[in-house]
Structure 1
């Protein structure tokens, strides 16, 4: 009896051709709940179902029947067709992750918008301040130009007054010179006549 059991177990092991390996993470198909069996084949009895998208640990595979032995989150082990397993997380798992990623990206975009708006406001403020400085410099430049024009006009007026005074002084000197010359000529003409008459009178008196 024992020999028959050993032979049966040996034949079963040869037929099953189970390859044991380290546990690997797998995900059940996103379809409806998947039936699992007690052994690596369709001829083994059904022992329950695994929820669609559930994460399981792949314990070993059977290449002949394309079945794999898995352990679910509750610690139960069973066999499931390998086509029902996937290396990628199920949509049920990925959708929340994607939603979190979208939320994270949205928050980043909002932060970028806020940062951009703040930088734009700061740049606008700096530009406004620069415009104020430029306008102030323009006004100061215009004031200096006006002051220069006024100063030039004053200098021109002073030059005109100086020219008038110089002409007046020159005319006065001409007049003084002419007067002196006239007096000299007059004396030159009159004195010769006065001196001889005195001599004649002196001679007559002697």
Structure 2
């Protein structure tokens, strides 16, 4: 009877010092292993160990002893110092995940680098094509300028030849006009001498 009464008092004492709350996930800190006990304090016996990074469920915590009651993956219910629990997975357990993230990021960077190189090569091709087009246009422009110079010289030469022909034609007209006038004058001077003269006595005789 006394033993039963003692167990009841002990349970009530635990209930008074323990803060019961909803189950929460926790992780064993990054130590290689940690001891778990049968009760919320260093006076309780050790009943096993848990590995670093192992996921457990926090059932309740004792604020006086700073211990928490946990349930591990094997279903065992034990107590462990709250300082050895973490809300985040341990670095040891996150290493494979981090390594995978690093691999994924490396692959993405490689894809980005490859895509960037392709875009850069395309841009360089376009720039080179633009340079070729610009050089071609420059050459064509220069050829047109040369043709324009040649055409201008030909026009100037044609104008000179036209002026010479006009002067020649004008001189020829002057010569023709002068010749006609001279011939007319000469004809006017010679014609009276060429016609027969009538005698003045013929009028008196009639």
TM-score by length of 1: 0.86
In structure 2, C-alpha distance between the alignment counterparts of 1:6 and 1:199, rounded to whole Å: 197
Which residue in 2 is equivalent to 1:115? 115
Which residue in 1 is equivalent to 2:187? 187
Deviation larger for 119-128 or 159-168: 159-168
In structure 2, C-alpha distance between the alignment counterparts of 1:92 and 1:170, rounded to whole Å: 114
Q: Deviations over 1:124-148 (max 9, x none)?
A: 1111122222222222222222222
Across the aligned residues of Structure 1 and Structure 2, the Cα RMSD in angstroms comes to 2.2
| Paired residue secondary structure (1:199) | coil
Q: Deviations over 1:33-68 (max 9, x none)?
A: 111111112121111111122221111222222111
> Displacement, 1:19?
3.0
> Displacement, 1:90?
0.8
Q: Deviations over 1:162-194 (max 9, x none)?
A: 222211111111111111121122222223344
1:166 aligns with 2:169: no
In structure 1, C-alpha distance between the alignment counterparts of 2:9 and 2:74, rounded to whole Å: 32
Which residue in 1 is equivalent to 2:198? 199
1:11 aligns with 2:16: no
In structure 1, C-alpha distance between the alignment counterparts of 2:27 and 2:201, rounded to whole Å: 167
> Displacement, 1:150?
2.4
TM-score by length of 2: 0.86
Deviation larger for 108-117 or 157-166: 157-166
Which residue in 2 is equivalent to 1:130? 130
Q: Structure 2: which 5+ residue stretches go unaligned?
A: none
In structure 1, C-alpha distance between the alignment counterparts of 2:108 and 2:13, rounded to whole Å: 57
Which residue in 2 is equivalent to 1:65? 65
In structure 1, C-alpha distance between the alignment counterparts of 2:10 and 2:122, rounded to whole Å: 79
Q: 1:184 to 1:42 in 2, by over 3 A?
A: same
Q: 1:116 to 1:173 in 2, by over 3 A?
A: same
| Paired residue secondary structure (2:198) | helix
In structure 1, C-alpha distance between the alignment counterparts of 2:107 and 2:175, rounded to whole Å: 100
